[in-house]
Amino acid sequence: MSEFKAPLRDIKFVTEEVLNIHEHYANLSGADEATPDMVSAILEEGAKFSERILAPLNRVGDEQGCTFNDGVVTTPDGFKEAYAQYVEGGWPSLAHPEAVGGQGLPESLGLMVTEMVATANWSWSMYPGLSHGAMNTLESHGTEEQKQTYLTKLVSGEWTGTMCLTEPHCGTDLGMLKTKAEPQEDGSYCITGTKIFISAGEHDLAENIVHIVLARIVGAPEGTKGISLFVVPKYSVDANGEKGERNDLSCGSIEHKMGIHGNATCVMNFDGAKGFLIGPENKGLNCMFTFMNTARLGTALQGLAHTEWSLQNSVAYARDRLQMRALSGPKAPDKAADPIIVHPDVRRMLLTQKAFAEGGRALIHYCSLLVDKTKKGTDEEQAEADELMSLLTPIAKAFLTETGFESANLGMQVFGGHGYIAEWGMEQNVRDCRISMMYEGTTGIQALDLLGRKVLMTQGATLKRFTKIIHKFCKEHKGNKKAKAYISELDKLNSQWGDLTMKIGMKAMMNKEEVGAASVDYLMYSGYVVLAYFWARMAITAQEKLAEGTEEKGFYKAKVQTADFYYQRILPRTLTHAEAMLSGAGNLLDMAEEDFLYV
């Protein structure tokens, strides 16, 4: 009974009116084809595909799941046909270089389409999503031969890709991995080991699957310094670039999971499979970060997708569901009760989802413009964009998935008991969303990366790159009376962000455990401030449109009202995070291990 409507109006508001994407494309090398008419046409077609083809398969995928039979994985009904239409429409090639068969359009345009696809059906979207990361890795680090052999087929969508990182014993600690790579006389490597949690590792959508695999070359150093990266195809490739013999790898099983049933999460066994080195020996993690950063931004998008889906369905339900009367008097006197959307607490839940969906959309698409610059900008633009992305990627991944799960739960709560019933789809959304806070690095791992590596290890230089942007914005709008409430609060929090960082840094000089103790609160604080910046930008844009006399008064007025809600009801959460992060490591680590549990 759930439905999805592509949020085209809001995507265009964020990208065109707030982020000035058409000016961005006009100044971006090689983006000549990304004209306003072309962008609009692509978005319209992407919306149709998402709404008409993918959304109806969302529940099908959850109910049927993937099936496993002696190494063969079959996807749910309709998935294979939908993928064939996706390939026929040219969607996989949208944002990849023309030299390898792509259309050469900007990454940011591809991400707008991906947002709609992902929200319509997250499980299905993971199949082409993993391919996108494999493409970026080969594009950045592969040889010309590897690009022509594998990348062209991935770009066309004929083949799909995966990333094979973790193993049963190592989880996030990849320095412990045991998969080995033995050099062969022909220049290839014999890959042996077991990888787990491999999304889209085996399926029936494409004729070949290209695995990007981390392994240790025999004799390489222990730990992360001895890890290399390999391309290992399911089927070898013959001299004509076509699928050849089956490689020595197989799917040992698929996981029985809480959610995302429509995507196969596989145990992959490499039993002497032939692979080829990507990039330099022992630099596999450096190369893999191209894939991982793509995946982390994609996972941030998952948080947004589940928030948007929850918002759309809970708003529709709240408009129709009749329960009780408003305390101030009947709002629908001709009916047996008022629709629940009139009640303050229901409004709180809906507005929280709306604030996270629309604020998260602004953050995601801002990051996508930075990705454009890292690939096609000037040297100076690339350096700045790289530094900003290094700061914003862990924030986007962790914060948007945490708030995405909060939103999915709020959507389920709006439905009351009906939210717990499968037919409405709200409990599926909660289950599908839950994994997002764990894969591609848990919230705790992202927080350590943010505070430890990106902020403290750079002596705050990376953070200052972004806080200067906020400071400049606040200074520019200081005299704007209508925006005073946003600007004064944002400016205060921006300064506090730097002060908190300095205090934690000083504490960490005395005790390194202070970094881990403060990190998650620090990340969440950072996320709320970042969204406050984007909500201020959106509110000011909306105020300007209203002052001009727009015909869409309701749309822009709602933007201002949601900004007010965010600043008054959600942003105060920063107070708790600030107190918690400064409380010290003692309240976490002083208790003896044996005192945790008495049985």
CA distance 117 to 188: 37
Neighbours of 77 (CB within 10 A): 12
SS3 of residue 277 by DSSP: strand
Catalytic pick from 115, 167, 387, 440? Answer: 440
* Entry field: residues in the chain: 599
Neighbours of 545 (CB within 10 A): 20
CA distance 86 to 118: 13
CA distance 35 to 152: 26
Contact indicator for 305, 55 with CB cutoff of 8 Å = no
Contact indicator for 315, 342 with CB cutoff of 8 Å = no
The token pair at 340 is 């629940």
Q: How far apart are the first and last CA of the chain?
A: 46
According to DSSP, the residues that pair with 235 across neighbouring strands are 246
Q: Which residues contact 143 (CB under 8 A, 6 or more apart)?
A: none
What is the gyration radius of the CA atoms in the chain, in angstroms? 24
Contact indicator for 259, 177 with CB cutoff of 8 Å = no
CA distance 24 to 28: 6
Contact indicator for 97, 105 with CB cutoff of 8 Å = no
Please choose, from the candidates 197, 262, 268, the residue with its C-alpha nearest in 3D space to the C-alpha of residue 67. 262
Please choose, from the candidates 296, 302, 469, the residue with its C-alpha nearest in 3D space to the C-alpha of residue 390. 296
- What Å distances lie between residue 248 and 193, 196, 251, 274, 370, CA to CA? 11, 17, 11, 7, 40
Q: Is position 579 annotated as part of the catalytic site?
A: no
Q: Which residues contact 218 (CB under 8 A, 6 or more apart)?
A: 180, 181, 182, 183
Contact indicator for 433, 408 with CB cutoff of 8 Å = yes
Phi, psi for 350 (deg, rounded to 5): -70, -45
Burial 167-187 (b: 16+ CB within 10 A, else e): beeeeeebeebebbbeeeeee
- The one-letter code for the residue type at 347 is R
CA distance 175 to 223: 4
Contact indicator for 533, 486 with CB cutoff of 8 Å = no
Contact indicator for 400, 304 with CB cutoff of 8 Å = yes
Half-sphere exposure of 339 (CA within 13 A, CB side): 11
- What Å distances lie between residue 562 and 356, 382, 536, 592, CA to CA? 10, 34, 10, 46
CA distance 57 to 215: 36
Neighbours of 583 (CB within 10 A): 13
The token pair at 234 is 């399911």
What is the set of active-site residues?
440
